[in-house]
Amino acid sequence: MAEKISITVDGPAGSGKSTISKLIAEKLNILHLDTGAMYRAVALSALDRGISVSDVLAVESMLKGLSIAVTYDNGIQRIFVNGVDVMGRIRTAEVSKAASDIAVIPAVRVKLVEIQRQLSKSLSLIIDGRDIGSYVLPNADYKFYITADPEERAKRRLKEQQSKGLEIEKTLAEMTQEIISRDKTDSTREFAPLVCADNALYIDTTKMTIEQVVSTVLNAIQKVKK
């Protein structure tokens, strides 16, 4: 694609947003920005410093000393916190929960949204998150909301862990509960909650394959372009 474009993909935990966004980025030869990774990086910084993610004042004071940089290395997103690449440490269950909790703090969102908006000014991006189409880039060219039933999302998470050779520490019921609880935190927070933007295409992927979702998204983009 020659002209600069922005595509937003919002949805709850485990809906496959990142997988789908990566594939679409490859197809369209644009970059993928995973904003969840940015909230995870801030959460990790708090955990590393022994700061409680619910202590708003302590988190605000930590933020003042954090320099966060998002860069691309051969098309792959990296996040540096105070010069250190944190990508290898942000995918644990502890960081997932802490990211959801720390994301309710407005100062955290303001800092990260600023970086997201700056990046989208100069790059063609497909951005995935919770509030991208509704709050970060309300004027994006194409908007999608991708979801699936909580149990299906929990199954996908467990399968993903298995395929990575990670130890499975949770039952399906426990993972489903964890996902429902994260949905609640993400969609009931006051500032920029998880929501389907007015003009986003809503895709329920419960009974769809990854390929079907990718082609639904690509077809929708083609249709709007005409």
According to the binding rule CB under 6 A, does residue 183 interact with ligand DC?
Answer: no
According to the binding rule CB under 6 A, does residue 182 interact with ligand DC?
Answer: yes
According to the binding rule CB under 6 A, does residue 62 interact with ligand DC?
Answer: no
Report d(CA 7, CA 84) in Å as an integer.
28
Query: Closest by alpha carbon to 147, among 17, 1, 2, 5?
Result: 17
Q: Which amino acid is at 32?
A: H
According to the binding rule CB under 6 A, does residue 129 interact with ligand DC?
Answer: yes
Q: Least distance (Å) from ligand DC to the CB of residue 204?
A: 18
Both tokens of 132, joined, read 């991208």
According to the binding rule CB under 6 A, does residue 39 interact with ligand DC?
Answer: yes
According to the binding rule CB under 6 A, does residue 32 interact with ligand DC?
Answer: no
According to the binding rule CB under 6 A, does residue 100 interact with ligand DC?
Answer: yes
Report d(CA 100, CA 45) in Å as an integer.
14
According to the binding rule CB under 6 A, does residue 152 interact with ligand DC?
Answer: no
According to the binding rule CB under 6 A, does residue 36 interact with ligand DC?
Answer: yes
Alpha helices by DSSP H, listed for 16-137, are 17-28, 35-48, 56-64, 93-102, 106-122
Q: In Å, what is the CA distance from 120 to each residue of 33, 52, 77, 129, 137?
A: 9, 31, 14, 14, 9
Q: Which is nearer to ligand DC, 1 or 110 (CB)?
A: 110
Q: Which is nearer to ligand DC, 184 or 223 (CB)?
A: 184
According to the binding rule CB under 6 A, does residue 11 interact with ligand DC?
Answer: no
Query: Closest by alpha carbon to 195, among 182, 204, 186?
Result: 186
Q: Least distance (Å) from ligand DC to the CB of residue 84?
A: 19
The SS3 assignment for 171 reads coil
Residues at the contact surface with ligand DC, assessed by CB under 6 A: 13, 35-36, 39-40, 96, 99-100, 103, 129-132, 182, 186
